[in-house]
Amino acid sequence: MSPRAAGRRPIHRSVAVGVPLALLAAFTVAGTANATSGPAQPRVTHTATLGDLPLGTFSNGLLPGTVDNDRGVDLGGIGSDIYPTGRKGEFWTVTDRGPNGQIKVDGAKRRTFPVPGFDPAIVRIRVSGGAVKVIDAIPITTSSGKPVTGLSNQAGRDEAPYSFDARTPLPYNPNGVDTEGIVRAADGAFWLVDEYGPSLLHVSARGKVLTRYVPRGLHLTGTDYPVVEALPAILLHRKINRGLEGLTQLPGGDLVMALQSPLSLPDGDAGDTSRTTRLLRFSPGKRSVTAEYAYRFDPVNVVDPSEDDTSELKISSVVAVGPDHLLVEERTDKSARLHEVRLTRRADILGGPYDRDTTSPSLEQLDDPATAGVPVLGKRLVVDLGTVAGVPGKIEGVARVDRDTLALINDNDFGMTDGSGAFDGQGRLVDSGIETTVTYVRLPRRI
């Protein structure tokens, strides 16, 4: 048994949440306060770290009996996004689909789900000194209250799911979601985006999926919640594991969601070499997409000087900073830059030729969409996080704390790594040692 597993204690259910807050708070460790010099430069002002909480303890406290063996994995992955609760130092976060990795078998990569019973959750955290404390957690469930799980949805479209050692096939689950961005509406309900569909989910305050909005033509059947085909069909060409990632809510109530990477249009090679992805505007009142925008990445070696593979470019977070202004995070796994963009009617490509997959060359194939007459969102660099000492890698969530301070959260992938060495001979996790961290960055100017 691993040292991390040896000290585990059983969890007792609470009436309100299913996980007692005192117990959750006990699984925190001190982080470090941090400040760097330079009055005119962005700087880290504080960091806090999530302590070790066994994933089985966490999951079974919310939905008893869902995890029979967590394989030594601790709660992590809550860094998929971060959204202020309105209380100082408190944020809503969301997990992704759960621990997962890749192992090659006979020369082909297989997607592993070491804890297949894990259910994605909305997690409320508090930054307290150097610790990140879990103070509430809400499991995402179907209409009948069952866990949605994080398992792949459709054979032939999503990666086939396998056990931790990539030897045993697991069943597909049409209810499964790979959740990423999160916002909380004024009525207490949540909006989430998902990579599988890709989709937009409307979720009740207690975590029940009210509606899942998917691309037209997806034909997702067998779900235990309503599915509405309301997103553009062109999203069916999303790259595997690169669906909808960023989400924000504008002051007027509209949602803006970001496609993590360029579409594979007309094929994977075009998507891998493209620097043009898409943002979508969604009206909750109309229950439809009302605008679509072309967004152009910086060259990959500008975002991350150590990287030369364009396919590593991703958008992971979008943050509303005005009625039609956003911060957009461009990143690789090592570095990130935040740009301010303004959404304009002139830049809307919804319903036009580049919103159809029959157009050739596609938007993704254009070397420079602007010179081809395609409107592209203008942008202004706000901060290059790769130059700020103390900012960790793989930042997936960004929140505005005040007019000149941002809160960043990283995705630690539940301590998972790829390859057969991810687990020891007893099937227990060999932890990467990467922790979930909330980092405050103060900017030299207001946003």
pLDDT digits (tens, 9 = 90+) for 213-225: 999 999 999 999 9
Residue 40, pLDDT score: 76
Give CA–CA dist 290/150, Å, rounded. Answer: 29
**Number of continuous H segments (helices) and E segments (strands) in the chain:** 5, 24
pTM of the model: 0.92
Could you say which residues of the chain have pLDDT below 50? 1-38
Quote the DSSP letter at residue 435: P
Nearest to 94 by CA among 280, 244, 210: 244
Give CA–CA dist 322/252, Å, rounded. Answer: 10
Give CA–CA dist 213/228, Å, rounded. Answer: 5
Residues 216-264 pLDDT 10s: 999 999 999 999 999 999 999 999 999 999 999 999 999 999 999 999 9
Beta bridge partners of 279: 258, 293
3-state secondary structure of 386: helix
Give CA–CA dist 210/206, Å, rounded. Answer: 11
First vs last C-alpha separation in the chain: 49
Tokens read off for 76? 């992590």
CA 364 to centroid of chain Cα atoms:
23
Residue 106, pLDDT score: 94
Strand intervals (E) in 253-324 = 255-259, 276-283, 288-296, 314-320
Nearest to 274 by CA among 242, 247, 246, 250: 242
**What one-character-per-residue DSSP string does 171-198 give?**
---TT---EEEEEE-TTS-EEEEETTTT
**Segment holding 16, helix H or strand E:** none
Which region, left, alpha or beta, applies to residue 369 given φ > 0 means left and ψ of -120 to 50 means alpha? alpha
